[in-house]
A and B are shown apart, each in its own frame.
Chain A
Amino acid sequence: MVTNLDAPAKAGLSIQTRAVGHWFDSKDGRLDVLDDVTIDVEPGEFVALLGPSGCGKSTLLRLIAGLEAPRTGKVGADKIRIVGPDPSRLLVFQDPTLYPWRTVRENVALGLEATGQIKGSQARIDQALDLVGLRDFAGALPNELSGGMAQRAALARVLVNNPRLLLLDEPLGKLDSLTRMTLQAELVKLWKDAGFTALLVTHDVEEALLLAQRILVFSPRPARVVREIRVGAAYPRHRDAPELQALRREILVSLGHDHEL
């Protein structure tokens, strides 16, 4: 496997949010999803946003991606206010959302095509496919892929653009547990090699502990940061490591799940 894309390595982006509040207008009135969220993410850091399902973590990612503007507060990257989407900040969703009418290769080429860099980028696409181990499936259509392969293709589709920030919205949430473990390890490796900043939304405590250097625990909706936990363990981490087990217990308590099964 190739370890890096041959483009100039850019440092990861830093992320700042200042007193971000956000809500949606529904027919039952205002639905608050984010409340006074102030966070800082260092360049190249791997941060997990952990919280109950539907608490508003995904909305925060959309704001940082620039797909929506916050109702109140500010969102910035490298201390510059985010006003719209940019290929340096890329999202990976829970569903691979590959375009079913395009082959794996054409899906990976999407960003280069959109920004007019497709000419002469074939080697770059090959490298991205190698990075996720899908070179042999370049000509396959998305509906011929397994869930894990499709999610790998979705990763290649963002990595080929050398993003400086990867916004991961429960990217492994729908995979079976074995594929999930494999991809967790691969994700850590990709992050270590490429040097981008990673922001992972998850409601899986173990996943957050395995992947992230820092975990921000969110309250139920409207989401507020209620806890910040540093995970000092070196990579590669093992899920049975005692220090992770202790942190796991601590996080579950802060989420209100301290009862034994």
Chain B
Amino acid sequence: MNSIAETDRFALLGASSQDKSAPILPPLWRGGLAAAAGWAVAASLTWFWPDLTPWARTDLLALLELGVTLLLAAVALSGGGRFALIHPYNRWFGALAGILTLWQVLTAKTGLLPLPFFPPPQSILEVYTDDAARLFESVWRSLFLLIPGYAIGGILGFTTGALIGWSKAANYWGHPVLRFVGPLPATAWLPIAFFFFPGSHSASTFLVGLATFFPVAVLTASGVKGVNSAYYDIARTLGGSERFLILKVAVPAALPNVFVGLFMGLGSSFAVLIIAEMMGVKAGLGWYLQWAQGWAAYANLYGALIVMALLFSGLISLLFFVRDRVLAWQKGIVRW
């Protein structure tokens, strides 16, 4: 009976059934071939045009570019299949080759942009090959600060918000406090936190938690307050206890809001994390940035920024992935 329902649903949603009539020859991914050509140009330019002053990782860069060329070409020639997902991005693949080449020409090949502020791509590659251990440690030290703080702040924020949204008494006392204290950026608490907490690590965890707490609490509270009152009427007439009303009605109905809060909290926790690491923790990516700046190691600075972008963007993507799973029933929500 379920299978029938599923079929009906898919038919309703217009999802295509499995189409077995594949063409005999796989279609060529032309955009992919063009992008591969671009990367081939980038690789040969890196290899054959000598650097103004020799850089240690120019050969490796050329090899990597060649690798990308071959990979793109192989995918393009193999046609559709599981790689069909990336086909629409062919212009991005091509543009990346162009940007990389332009960057290299302006720096390593001609020196039009001055050192040390504009390091060539090969010097950033060198950061990754030669300073990987330190960078890696910075990443996990950052995560070690971020994740517990974010989790604690998120859980407390959710609980507080649900209470404020549900109980009149909690709202009476809690809401003004949230309104008054909430707008303070968590970074403003930094001097006090470092004074009150035994160590910089616990102080930073507190700050990250605080940065997460407020948006999650405020949005959870407004989510619970905004639940359609008819939902409660239904549950009450059906015999639902107060516990049932909170857990089975208020919380699921407020979840879309909670995720907006978690998203905002994640953004502000990144800011707090980096500043806390720069100001006191002496470890993590924020500290790495400051350390690199102290040595005028601009390649390390850019290298760390790229890692940070990948890390934070990955964490936000992960949050959105979880949200899309949890809120699969909802359609047309904000896309990341």
Contact residues of A with B, CB < 8 Å?
Answer: 62, 65-67, 85-87, 89-91, 93, 95, 97, 99-102, 110-111, 113-115, 126, 135-141, 143-144, 157-158, 161
Dominant SS at the B interface?
Answer: helix
Kindly identify which residue among B13, B228, B233, B244 contacts A91, using a CB–CB cutoff of 8 Å. B233
CB contact under 8 A between A136 and B237, given known A97-B230, A99-B252, A144-B13: no
Q: Please give me the residue from chain A that is nearest to B326 by CB atom.
A: A101
Q: Please give me the residue from chain B that is nearest to A92 by CB atom.
A: B234
- Nearest-neighbour CB distance to chain B for A158, whole angstroms, equals 8
Q: Please give me the residue from chain A that is nearest to B332 by CB atom.
A: A143
B239 touches A111 (CB 8 A): yes
For B5, list chain A residues within 8 Å (CB).
135-140
B237 touches A65 (CB 8 A): yes
What mask results when residues 225 to 249 of chain B are scored 1 for a CB within 8 Å of chain A, else 0? Answer: 0001011011111111100100011
Kindly identify which residue among A65, A97, A135, A136 contacts B228, using a CB–CB cutoff of 8 Å. A97
Q: Does B8 contact A (CB under 8 A)?
A: yes
A140 touches B238 (CB 8 A): no
Q: Please give me the residue from chain B that is nearest to A89 by CB atom.
A: B237
Closest 8 CB pairs of A and B: A111-B238, A114-B240, A87-B239, A115-B239, A139-B5, A85-B237, A97-B230, A101-B329
B237 touches A99 (CB 8 A): no
CB contact under 8 A between A67 and B230, given known A100-B329, A139-B5, A139-B6: no
Question: What is the bound-complex CA distance between A236 and B248, given in angstroms?
Answer: 40
- Nearest-neighbour CB distance to chain A for B160, whole angstroms, equals 23
For B1, list chain A residues within 8 Å (CB).
126, 135-136, 138
CB contact under 8 A between A99 and B241, given known A138-B1, A143-B329, A143-B331: no
For B2, list chain A residues within 8 Å (CB).
138-139
Question: What is the bound-complex CA distance between A139 and B236, given in angstroms?
Answer: 24
CB contact under 8 A between A136 and B239, given known A91-B233, A91-B234: no
For A93, list chain B residues within 8 Å (CB).
230
Could you write out 6 A-B pairs with CB less than 8 Å apart? Answer: A89-B237, A90-B237, A100-B329, A136-B8, A140-B5, A161-B238
Question: What is the bound-complex CA distance between A245 and B1, given in angstroms?
Answer: 45
For B239, list chain A residues within 8 Å (CB).
85-87, 111, 114-115
Q: Does B9 contact A (CB under 8 A)?
A: yes
For B253, list chain A residues within 8 Å (CB).
99, 101
For B327, list chain A residues within 8 Å (CB).
101
Question: What is the bound-complex CA distance between A60 and B248, given in angstroms?
Answer: 28
Kindly identify which residue among A91, A99, A136 contacts B4, using a CB–CB cutoff of 8 Å. A136
For A135, list chain B residues within 8 Å (CB).
1, 5
B8 touches A137 (CB 8 A): yes
Question: What is the bound-complex CA distance between A162 and B294, given in angstroms?
Answer: 75
- Nearest-neighbour CB distance to chain B for A49, whole angstroms, equals 18
Q: Does B18 contact A (CB under 8 A)?
A: no
For A91, list chain B residues within 8 Å (CB).
233-234, 237
Q: Does B12 contact A (CB under 8 A)?
A: yes
For B6, list chain A residues within 8 Å (CB).
139
For A102, list chain B residues within 8 Å (CB).
329
For A111, list chain B residues within 8 Å (CB).
238-239
For B233, list chain A residues within 8 Å (CB).
62, 65, 67, 91
For B235, list chain A residues within 8 Å (CB).
110, 114
B237 touches A87 (CB 8 A): yes
A87 touches B329 (CB 8 A): no
CB contact under 8 A between A95 and B230, given known A114-B244, A139-B6: yes
For A139, list chain B residues within 8 Å (CB).
2, 5-6, 9
